[in-house]
Amino acid sequence: MSGSRGRNPFSLDNRKAKAMQVPSETKPALWGAAGGAIALAIVGFTWGGWMTTGTANKLADQRADTAVVAILTPICVDKFQQKSRAISWKRAAGPHAQERRRPTTSWPGHVPRSWSRPKPQPSDLEF
């Protein structure tokens, strides 16, 4: 029965025979491509400036930290100088300077001027 149909094209023997039928120039070409890829990777990562994701993330973190320090340094220096001026002013004013600035009246005496201004009257409004 199998003789009348011929050989099975999907048999294991048939696939092995066809898989081994490659041109003789293919194997050296594949080895050359693999060697070239390895050489390209070595040259790229060594001299070409390529980097892995981990290295790129570390570099980005370092640059971000440097930028934050560069931006915040003048602000921190200014605040430090303001604090040192305030501390030196308090020392120069003497130990009782804070007591003199402390209010002696109750809360209604400390209403800001903006709260105590008279409300505008309708006759004061311009149309």
Interatomic CA distance for residues 11 and 96, integer angstroms: 105
Task: Give the pTM.
Answer: 0.42
Interatomic CA distance for residues 21 and 31, integer angstroms: 18
Asked if 14 and 7 count as a contact pair (C-beta separation under 8 A), the reply is yes
Please check the confidence at residue 2 and state whether its pLDDT lies above 50.
Answer: no
Please give the average per-residue pLDDT across 14-40, as a whole number. Answer: 83
Could you tell me which residues come within 8 angstroms of residue 97 by beta carbon, excluding any fewer than 6 positions away? 90
63 — pLDDT class (breaks 50, 70, 90): very high
Determine the pLDDT at residue 82.
Answer: 85
Higher pLDDT, 22 or 34: 34
Please give the average per-residue pLDDT across 43-56, as a whole number. Answer: 93
Phi/psi of residue 64, nearest 5 degrees: -65, -45
